[in-house]
Amino acid sequence: MSLNDTSTDSHEGSHPAHAGLALVVDDDAMLRRLMTKALSRQGFQTIEACDGCEALEIVNTNLDTQLPDIILMDVEMPRMNGFNACRAIRKTLSDVHLPILMVTGNGDEESVDRAYQAGATDFINKPVTFSLLGHRVRYLLRTSRAMGKLADTVKALDKNRDELARAHEIARLGTWEIDGTQRQMTCSRELLTILGIEANPIENSITTFLDLVHPEDRTEVSRWLDSVIDGGNRNGITHRIVSTAETRYLQQYVSDRIDQDSQSIFGIVQDITQQQQSQNRIQQLAYYDSLTGLPNRAQFRQRTEQAIERARVNNQKIAVMFLDIDEFKRVNDTLGHGVGDELLRTIAKRLQNTVRAGDFVTDNAEDNKTEPRDSWSLARFGGDEFTILLNDLENTDITVEVAARVRENLNTSMSLAGHEITVSPSIGIAHYPDDGEDIDTLLKNADTAMYAAKRSGKNQYCLYQSPMNDSAVNLLTMENALRKAVANNELQLLYQPQMQLESGRIIGTEALLRWQSPTLGAVSPEDFIPIAEQNGSIIEIGEWVLRTACQQMASWHANGLLLPRMAVNISARQFMDKNFADLVTSVLAETTLEARYLELEITETLLMQDIEQAANTLQSLKTIGVDLAIDDFGTGYSSLSYLNRFPIDRLKIDKSFIENILDSTEDEAITRAVVAMAQSMRLDVIAEGVETREQLQLLKAL
């Protein structure tokens, strides 16, 4: 038995005003601790008891001092279970309005009925949602206190009906009277107003009253009334009514029997719709994404944990799909966050329609639910990431079908803020139990599969395979090491000469980036450059390359080696940076290298991503005085028609054409066409990767 003060959690910030004293009864010490911590955040002091006997001892010990304001009682406990403990406490405190909240893992009708018969005020199911527990208990305690005070007021004002009626009207309160012998009900005028009834058609009819109760609550309210009439339950109940234009929430509470001889029972009813709507709003904020309206990460995790447990019992499979929108950041950066938010909302709607097309999912067959799958299996996990839960799978074929349908629906263009936008998803899929037996493992493996889909070219779906973990670990190791490469002086530049065919003279050089890691050894640029592009470290690396190459060129010039140009490759992220031209100007000034000796190489594919922006950026660079070259020319598919818009000095034929130029008539024809086109446009041409004398002779002939 222990008392917990809210001050012990001061590191979590200031607490609400003191809410009361709660007795937490559970044989699981860890669960008690989690519940007391959640209650402390809402300003409660707590007492702990490990079973029903200890709880009853605490109540008896504090009869004349300080009783708890509310009790949270587990059902299954040694020595004395929750039902018996609740019944014993009610007998001890027959005249005290003390709310008891039963915590049970059984949500069946029999357990609920036993809880009410034992004197429970309300119940919650396990697993407990700790983020909402404090709010729930505060709300229940506030309602119970109000009902207790009202019951006392009823006794004091029983002879003054007019004053009581005015109080009822202000507080949205009404009353009923039931003759326990005749089972007849009489409603007050205030209750009829709450129910939206002008006359009194339900007088002398409990059945007609029940007809106004929401169909989903009717059985529970009927059992509660039967228990009240039979003297087994004097505690409150919350339910909905549908007699008015909108669904409303009522809280009912039973006062003392007015006349023991006639067995009349007096009930108090309060319209708590506003309070319930506030509670629903808290639920909405806790479990739903405010931007898209989809379930959020917390709800998805909860639902997936339930699905895993159900699949374990039924020996079935489930699938977790992790979806990321390719190049979403570019939409945000280019068109603004407003368009980005609208894009996410549109994607969410398309995903809802896609998943909805896949039949229905139920918690259990006997639940008789027809809840659409998207109502809880689809979630926005965060940012541009979405997750989908597929339940009760007999095989994994349906997973691939859903992934293909998602990709197809998202690939269709959408019109947002005057822009035509097409997006693509990268999807990773993990199955229970093959790829993990808990939610964290499934999510991690689905995420790993999603990144594998991105590395495969994006707009793909990929099933998880165990070797992916090794690849993911290696990738993470390389990424972490790469972030330190510049600071640790692990990068170096090699310089590849450029030769003029006619004279055989060296007329320039190209800077080639290399990485010698102390832990990974020599790492190929084909391996680390894509990683640097993805994680953003290419900005720092690219600036280092530009500055180092310019310093080397200036040093050569100072020592009499007057090469005409230094060629430096520019990454996509560098080129799209609006301050890139300013960076080039700054580096040239810092290294004292004249602009005419620097050549910047931009890939053909990069230029075609946004032709207008590319043309403007190239013109800004040309104004500085640097030379411009298109790298890997010939690998694109539409640059020729736009080439005259770019202030380009030379073209670099991609080495893939040169490698096979002696054996492939097609590669020779492409090379011949590029040379002819460049000559007609007065552009220089550079052939990359010339490694044999025969290749050299053929290029001379061209």
Q: List the Cα angle 638/639/640 in 5-degree steps.
A: 95
18-69 confidence digits (pLDDT tens): 778 999 999 988 888 888 988 888 888 999 999 999 999 988 888 777 888 8
CA dist 594 and 624 (Å) reads 10
How high is the pLDDT of residue 370? 36
The arithmetic mean of pLDDT across residues 587-613, rounded, is 87
9 or 85: which carries more pLDDT confidence?
85
The answer to whether residue 667 scores a pLDDT higher than 70 is yes
d(CA 682, CA 596): 18
Residue 618 has pLDDT above 50, yes or no: yes
pLDDT at position 426, please?
Answer: 93
Whole-angstrom distance, CA of residue 370 vs CA of residue 99: 35
Whether 443 has a pLDDT exceeding 80, the answer reads: yes
* Residues 296-342 pLDDT 10s: 888 898 889 988 988 888 888 899 999 999 888 888 877 888 888 99
> How sure is the predictor about 512, in pLDDT bands with cuts at 50, 70 and 90?
very high
| Band of pLDDT at residue 364, cut at 50, 70 and 90 | very low
Looking at residues 402-426, what average pLDDT do you find? 88
Structure tokens at 551: 């310093």
Average pLDDT, integer, range 93-110: 77
Confidence of residue 200 (pLDDT cuts 50, 70, 90): low
Give the integer Cα–Cα distance in Å for 393 and 429.
14
Q: Residue 375: its pLDDT value, please? A: 34
Residue 579 has pLDDT above 60, yes or no: yes
pLDDT by residue (tens digit) across 114-125? 887 888 888 787
Describe the crossing of helices 439-455 and 297-314 by its angle, rounded to 10 degrees: 110
Residue 244's pLDDT band (boundaries 50, 70, 90)? low
**What's the pLDDT score for residue 425?**
93
* Mean per-residue pLDDT, 3-17: 45
Of the ranges 296-310, 448-462, 547-561, the best mean pLDDT one: 547-561
CA–CA distance, 443 with 495 (Å, rounded to integer): 45
For residues 515 and 322, give the distance between their C-alpha atoms in angstroms, rounded to a whole number: 33
Instruction: Write down the pLDDT at residue 356.
Output: 59
Query: Region 399-412: what's the mean pLDDT?
Result: 89
- Candidates 406, 324, 322, 316; CA nearest to 361 is 316
Tell me which of 208 and 305 has the higher pLDDT. Answer: 305
Give every CB contact of residue 69 below 8 A, 6+ residues apart in sequence: 20, 21, 22, 98, 141
SS3 202: coil
Q: What is the per-residue pLDDT for 680?
A: 81
Is pLDDT larger for residue 511 or for residue 158? 511
Q: What is the predicted pLDDT for the residue at 590?
A: 95
Q: Percent of the chain scored above 90 by pLDDT?
A: 22
Averaged over 583-588, what is the pLDDT?
95
Give the per-residue pLDDT at 471.
59
For the stretch 319-328, pLDDT in tens is 999 999 988 8
Check whether 201 has a pLDDT greater than 60: no
Does the bond joining 525 to the residue before it have cis omega, within 30 degrees of 0?
A: no
pLDDT at 508 over 90: yes
Examine the pLDDT at 10 and tell me if it is beyond 50: no
Scan for tokens 């992220």, then name that residue.
Answer: 573
Tell me the pLDDT band of 493, cut-offs 50, 70 and 90: very high
Does pLDDT of 688 surpass 80?
yes
Residue 175, pLDDT score: 81
Give the contacts of 271 (CB within 8 A, at least 6 positions apart).
172, 173, 194, 248, 249, 250
pLDDT at 106 over 90: no
| Average of per-residue pLDDT across 464-486 | 73
Mean pLDDT of the chain: 81
Q: Is the pLDDT of residue 11 over 70?
A: no
pLDDT at 48: 92
Q: CA torsion angle for 117, 121, 125, 129 (degrees, to 10)? A: -170
4 versus 134: the higher-pLDDT residue is: 134
What's the pLDDT score for residue 151?
61
Lowest mean pLDDT among 2-11, 196-205, 359-368, 526-535: 359-368
Give residue 638's pLDDT: 44
Structure confidence at residue 347 as a pLDDT band (50, 70, 90)? very high
* 89-96 average pLDDT score: 80
Q: Please, are residues 188 and 166 in contact by the beta-carbon 8 Å criterion?
A: no
Span of 65-69, 264-268, 369-373, 608-612 with lowest mean pLDDT: 369-373
Residue 601's beta-bridge partner residues?
569, 629
Per-residue confidence at 554, pLDDT binned at 50, 70, 90? very high
Q: For residues 381-400, give the mean pLDDT.
A: 86
Assess whether pLDDT exceeds 50 at residue 625.
yes
pLDDT at 360: 33
Q: What spatial distance separates the first Cα and last Cα of the chain, rounded to whole Å?
A: 94
